[in-house]
Amino acid sequence: MSCYFQGCRKVGTTREHIPPRSFFPDGEKEQLMTVRSCEEHNNSKSKDDIYVLAQICMNASPSNRAREVFQNKVAPQLEFNNGALRKRLAKGAVNLGNGAVRYPVDVPRLDSFFTALSCGVVFKSCGSALPENYKVKNIYHCLEGNSSPFLTAIENGIDSFYSGEPMALMEFGDPGAKNERIYTVKVFGIPGFGSSITVVHEFFGKFKVTSMLTHKLVMKSS
């Protein structure tokens, strides 16, 4: 069987966890979905996993599960390798007063993670990799950005529109996520890649990301 990642034609010789196993407390293995992966795409994003988890936990606070996972999974890594993760998270931080601190977010790093996660969710839902004529854009509803009021309104509208369950026509597939206290996911789209696809990820019931997988039409020459 081929690798789950979009455009990859290598054989899936390993199993990739979606989301990574590091996102779940010890003993909670019921959520550990896996997909076939080549070695390259199994290891390529592993360096981003703890960074992304740290950002999710910090922005999902004060969720008790987010705090628990941060303390058990992220905190032990903060001083590893001469404090590399701590320095990466703190770089560019701004003190807002009253003990509050605003930490910058490496959006390209999050994009790489959530694009791969969306590819895994799609593969798990239908057994096929995302076709190459799809473009992925991730919207981070819990992060403060520099978007204009117009773009913010669009993002809020997208969040509202995809807040319910998919209509029968748009039930693309169920990846089988089970541990709702940590991660839930919904997939909207016509089965068989008959339309664009929307993947709604939510961690700890608070940190929501909408991945828009846009079906790019290919113009045929006459």
Distance CA 115, CA 138 (A): 8
Residue 130 lies in a domain: yes
Query: In 3-state terms, what secondary structure has residue 117?
Result: helix
Residue 148 lies in a domain: yes
pLDDT computed for residue 151 by the predictor: 64
Distance CA 210, CA 185 (A): 10
pLDDT computed for residue 181 by the predictor: 86
Alpha-helical segments (H) within 127-169? 149-161
pTM value is 0.89
pLDDT computed for residue 95 by the predictor: 84
Which one, of 215, 217, 169, 162, lies nearest residue 190 by Cα? 169
pLDDT computed for residue 34 by the predictor: 93
pLDDT computed for residue 161 by the predictor: 80
- Determine how β-strand 183-188 pairs with β-strand 94-97: unpaired
Q: Which stretches in the chain have pLDDT values below 70?
A: 29-31, 44-46, 144-151, 217-222
Q: Structurally, how many domains does the chain consist of?
A: 1
Residue 7 lies in a domain: no
Residue 115 lies in a domain: yes
Neighbouring C-beta atoms of residue 12, cutoff 10 Å: 21
Question: On the CB side of 128, how many CA atoms lie within 13 Å of its CA?
Answer: 9
Contact 175, 130 (CB under 8 A): no
pLDDT computed for residue 101 by the predictor: 78
Residue 71 lies in a domain: no
Residue 133 lies in a domain: yes
Residue 94 lies in a domain: no
DSSP string, 38-68: -HHHHHTTHHHHHHHHHHHHHHHTT-HHHHH
Tokens of 199: 């993947």
pLDDT computed for residue 87 by the predictor: 92
Is the torsion defined by CA of 216, 41, 120, 64 positive or negative?
negative
In the chain, % helix, strand, coil (3-state, to 5) comes to 40, 20, 40
Q: Which domain holds residue 135?
A: 14-58+105-215
Residue 156 lies in a domain: yes
